[in-house]
Amino acid sequence: MHELSLIANLFEIMEEKAAEKNARKITHVVLQVGKLSGVVPELLITAFDMYKKDTIASEGKLEIKEVPLKILCRDCKTEVVKDDFVFICAKCGSSNLKTLSGMELYLEKMELEVD
Amino acid sequence: MKTKEVMVLEDLLGSNKKIANQIRKKLTDKGILTINLLSSPGSGKTTLLESLSEILAPEYKMAVIEGDIETERDAERIRAKGIPAWQIITGGACHLEAKMIGKLFPKIPADLDFLFIENVGNLVCPASFDLGENIRCVLLSIPEGDDKPKKYPKAFTTSHCLIISKTDLAPALPFNIEQAKKEALEINPNLKLLTTSAQSGTGIKELAEYFIESLQKIRRTNA
């Protein structure tokens, strides 16, 4: 359950950005969570709802966008979305691959209430 | 009052990565090789360090950072071998973070060769946190079963080396070492594979040699 540490980091970023914009409230938060990010989206939401009390996002809602694991074979140039974690090109058998997405743990955007 | 949408695109692990990169640079510049050991509880990380110290300590200076939820026990075991060890008691947290290593920084002697970090026993959470290591090793012990690489992919995709430990137990248990190696390589084709038994001593020397070669590599790059 390292999701709570990640949510603590999220709030640090959120509060800093909200202060820059002189926001009164944060009403909506969108996270990008990669398939291989090693976190459980439901636990992130639970942790967010626990953490938000008495913060600028106390009425805020967390939305999670799951990002698929996408790899590119450097040899045959095939791009594949993987449901398993087998890092071998299904087309040519090469293991010379590049991960294009799936590791993300990003705060994508927020909706703020400003004066 | 109005609502406003702000694009941010910031990494939740960004602050950890930043500290980890500073730690890695400082330690590598001093010629210290840092190794992060990751595994489930009970796969033999501390015992492996005790065995390794017998090979490394006569010639090299090593120290250990121990991460546990409670107790100073692991650090005491390492100190009993004459090796400096610092215990981080996380008080419930399931993983170590770079800032915890950063706090210990002033205590780390500049003339070390090897700094080992034994992470909190957990095959999930520690995988997300870079601690500034040069090498991440994941341990998988024979009693845990050979199906772990695909069940806990992140620990295996982010590691440089897989150590299959407690191989002396293999004859008694249905663990297929070749199958485990094959599945681990499917997840991470660049994994260095090693098998060890701290009880019989098998493979400890090869593991020590891997660390010594890696140490020489960072020192050559520094020079």
Confidence tier at B26 by pLDDT (50, 70, 90)? very high
Provide the pLDDT for residue B92.
85
Chain A residues near residue B187 by CB distance under 8 angstroms: 85-87
- Give me the residue from B11, B125, B189 closest to A95, CB to CB: B189
User: Are residues B157 and A106, on separate chains, in Cβ contact within 8 Å?
Assistant: no
Cα–Cα distance measured from residue A83 to residue A81, given in angstroms and rounded to the nearest whole number: 7
pLDDT in tens, B49-102: 999 999 999 999 999 999 999 999 999 999 999 999 999 999 888 999 999 999
Element (H, E) at B53: helix B45-56
The full set of domain ranges for chain B reads: 31-222
- pLDDT under 70: residue ranges of chain A: none
Closest C-alpha among B194, B39, B212, B197 to residue B125: B39
Cβ atoms A59, A28 nearer than 8 A? no
- Per-residue pLDDT at B10 exceeds 90: yes
In this structure, what token pair is assigned to residue A24?
């009164």
Provide the pLDDT for residue A42.
94
Mutate to test the interface with A, among B1, B2, B8 (most CBs of A within 10 A): B8
- Give me the residue from B1, B128, B188 closest to A87, CB to CB: B188
Main-chain dihedrals φ then ψ at residue B141, nearest 5 degrees: -95, 155
User: In this structure, is the dihedral angle defined by the CA atoms of residues B43, B47, B49 and B52, taken in order, positive or negative?
Assistant: negative
Provide the pLDDT for residue A85.
86
- How many angstroms away from the CA of A59 is the closest CA of chain B? 14
- Per-residue pLDDT at B200 exceeds 80: yes
Provide the pLDDT for residue B1.
80
Provide the pLDDT for residue B95.
95
Confidence tier at B223 by pLDDT (50, 70, 90)? confident
In this structure, what token pair is assigned to residue B56?
């490394």
Cα–Cα distance measured from residue A47 to residue A38, given in angstroms and rounded to the nearest whole number: 15
Q: Ramachandran region of residue A79, left (φ > 0), alpha (ψ -120 to 50) or beta? A: beta
Chain centroid to CA B158: 11
Provide the pLDDT for residue B120.
97
- How many angstroms away from the CA of B10 is the closest CA of chain A? 5
Provide the pLDDT for residue B20.
98
Residues in chain B: 223
Question: What is the average pLDDT across B120-146?
Answer: 97
pLDDT in tens, B34-49: 999 999 999 999 999 9
User: Are residues B124 and A113, on separate chains, in Cβ contact within 8 Å?
Assistant: no
List of domains in chain A: 3-114 (3.30.2320.80)
- Per-residue pLDDT at B105 exceeds 80: yes
Provide the pLDDT for residue B53.
97
Question: Number of A:B CB contacts under 8 A?
Answer: 101
ipTM at complex level? 0.92
Confidence tier at B131 by pLDDT (50, 70, 90)? very high
Q: In the CATH hierarchy, which fold is given to the domain comprising B31-222? A: Rossmann fold (3.40.50)
In this structure, what token pair is assigned to residue B189?
């084709």
